[in-house]
Structure 1
Amino acid sequence: MKLGVLGTLTINDVEVAEILTAPKPRSVLAMLMLEPGRAVSTASLIQELWDERPPRSASTTLQTYVLQLRRMFRDISPAGGGSPADALVTRVPGYLLQADHTEHDLSAYETLAEQGQKHLEQGDNERAEELFSRALELWRGAPLSDVRPGPLLYPQICGLEESRLAATEMRIEANLRLGRHREVQGELTVLVGSYPLHEGIRVKHMLALFRAGRLSAALDSFHEYRHRLVTDLGLEPSPRIRGLQQAMLCFDPMADSLAILDRVASGASR
């Protein structure tokens, strides 16, 4: 049974929202789909659905939602040999969704991203870039985009978005190490617009511009970052990014860009 959470909820490539139109049963399903093979407690599900003000009928209503989910699983056609009819089981202290982790997009993403990080740390940039690209291709949009998050799902969604951004940043770093600065310039410009105060993204934006021989644009990026940082947060840039700015004023763009990247990655300042 294929489970998808990196976008809208899908089961065997079927959009769950087409079957479950009510938001609360989808929230229950999302909680279970984020951790297949692990029991999610009844208390956690009730907290997610009603926060600190559950109705007296909360337990009974939750059981009704679980019955709806079980009927949905029975109606879903198998995507292969197995039947999802008995996928949702009662398991102390709550409910458990039985599924193969290899058919779970989040599990597959996390495995690929972890492998990519290891290869990046080992200096195998080509392989790292390939693994991060494969991991990011699994995303179909914002995670759980058809679910109304409560107090437990919301931080998990934020964590997934942060993980996606980190994987994107590491893929770009691998490309920069491979000399593909021109290929990532446009993507970095978009990311800087979306995350103007993200230091790692800004550093890579400056490096890509610098390597392309656009020293003035790279310095403009730094000054725009500093202005936003001071104006929005009352902070000055870190020694790391200030060291990069100074290094750019002293080094030849093509001859010394790798040395600059190494210094920036290690957090050293000039």
Structure 2
Amino acid sequence: MDIFVLGPMEILAAGVPITPTARKPRQLLSLLLFHIGQKVSNEKLIRGVWDDDPPQTAHATLQTYIVQLRRRLKNPVGSESATAKDILTTVDDGYMFVLPDGRFDLMEYRRLSRQGSAALKNGDLTQASQLLHDALSCWRGEALSNVRLSGLLQSEVQRLSESRVRTIEYCIDADLRLGGHREVLEDLSRLCAENPLYENLQLEYMVALYRSGLRVEAMNVFHQVRSEMVEHLGLEPSAALRRLNESILRADDSLDHVFPETYLGVDPQILGSVSAEKGVSL
């Protein structure tokens, strides 16, 4: 079975599409897949489908949706040993989705991202870059783009989007260390335009511009970020951005070989942590 949620939801069993078409079963399955291999309580599933306004028949209707999902899984599961109830199993007061043989893009993304981050922390830059690029290639667009998101699902998707941005940061950091400053310029330009208040990306963009011989453009980025922050947040840029801008003004020789986290003053493993209030766009 092949499951895809990093983009439009799509479920394939032995090559046969079995993705639910009805809205609420699709929401129910999405929540189960986000917690694959873990029990999701009936109460949480009901919240994930009806938010804070469930009908009086919510528990009975939930069981009906589970039966419908199992019916879709019943025939083309692709494994004689795996039945629909083995895959979508009842656990105490909830349900759990157990992945049979196959591919699940979210699990693959998390594994590659975790391995890539560890390689970056250990200084294995080539391996880190490869793993992190592979992790990002798992994405085919906005997660669950063909699912109407309840409040609970929206929170899950938001956390996943923030994880994706952190992975992008680690990937760009690895590429900058490997001398790929010109190669990352296009992606950084787009990401920084979409996230003008996301300071870590702006910092990496300034470093990449400077190393590409675009010193004036790097300083312009700082002034644009400062203008946005003062106007929208009433704040000055962080000390990290100010230090980097001062180094660019001096044409500091160290800029040719230091890494972005030198200015941030943090371990690269936590590079990219920002408050959700700033907003992240991909």
TM normalised by structure 2 equals: 0.87
Cα 1:84–1:247, aligned 2, differ >3 Å: closer, same or farther?
farther
Runs of 5+ consecutive residues of structure 1 not aligned to the other structure:
none
The reply to whether residue 11 of structure 1 matches residue 11 of structure 2 is: yes
| Cα distance in structure 2, aligned partners of 1:81 and 1:207 | 55
Give the aligned partner of residue 60 of structure 2.
60
The reply to whether residue 258 of structure 1 matches residue 257 of structure 2 is: yes
SS at match of 1:197: coil
Q: How does 1:37-186 map to 2 (within 5 A)?
A: 37-76=37-76, 78=78, 83=82, 85-86=84-85, 87-100=87-100, 103-186=103-186
The reply to whether residue 229 of structure 1 matches residue 229 of structure 2 is: yes
SS at match of 1:183: coil
| Cα distance in structure 2, aligned partners of 1:101 and 1:236 | 52
The residue type equivalent to 1:104 in the other structure is F
Give the aligned partner of residue 270 of structure 2.
none
Cα 1:191–1:232, aligned 2, differ >3 Å: closer, same or farther?
same
The reply to whether residue 209 of structure 1 matches residue 209 of structure 2 is: yes
Cα offset, 1:263, TM superposition: 2.5
Cα 1:262–1:36, aligned 2, differ >3 Å: closer, same or farther?
closer
Cα offset, 1:75, TM superposition: 4.2
The residue type equivalent to 1:128 in the other structure is A
CA contact (8 A) 1:9 1:15 kept: no
| Cα distance in structure 1, aligned partners of 2:263 and 2:80 | 51
SS at match of 1:96: strand
Cα offset, 1:97, TM superposition: 1.0
Runs of 5+ consecutive residues of structure 2 not aligned to the other structure:
267-282
CA contact (8 A) 2:176 2:259 kept: no
Cα 1:58–1:260, aligned 2, differ >3 Å: closer, same or farther?
closer
CA contact (8 A) 1:244 1:260 kept: no
| Cα distance in structure 1, aligned partners of 2:16 and 2:26 | 14
Give the count of matched residue pairs: 264
Cα RMSD over matched residues?
2.1
Deviations 1:20-69 (A, max 9, x none): 22110000000111112211111111111222221111111111111110
Cα offset, 1:258, TM superposition: 1.6
TM normalised by structure 1 equals: 0.91
- Give me the identity figure in percent: 38
Deviations 1:109-130 (A, max 9, x none): 1111111111111111111000
Bigger relative contact order (CA 8 A; separation at least 6)? 2
| Cα distance in structure 1, aligned partners of 2:154 and 2:17 | 21
CA contact (8 A) 2:182 2:212 kept: yes
